[in-house]
Amino acid sequence: MPFLDSRQRGDQLVKVIVEIPKKITKKQEQLLKQFIFEKEVKTSKGFFDRLKGYA
């Protein structure tokens, strides 16, 4: 992101807040599964899952 009154560029800091529910209803779970299958959402291993492969 450019500095004001300058052509230099700097870092852009972004804060992201993600809320993950601890419990969901059966209907919400069913809708989520339906969404995953319809949209062909690809999931990948997380950092710790990949780390286990090295241990």
In this predicted model, what pLDDT tens digit does every residue of 3-55 receive, in sequence order?
Answer: 667 777 778 889 999 998 899 999 999 998 888 777 765 677 777 777 777 76
Q: What is the pTM of this model?
A: 0.39
Cα separation, 31 vs 20, in Å, equals: 16
> How confident is the model at residue 3, as a pLDDT?
63
Q: What is the rounded CA–CA span in Å between residue 12 and residue 9?
A: 9
What pLDDT sits at residue 32? 85
Q: Say what the pLDDT of residue 36 is.
A: 78
Q: Looking at residue 55, what is its pLDDT?
A: 61
Q: Parse the chain into domains and list their residue ranges.
A: 24-55
Q: How far is CA 52 from CA 4, 38, 42, 43, in A?
A: 46, 31, 21, 17
What's residue 2's pLDDT? 61
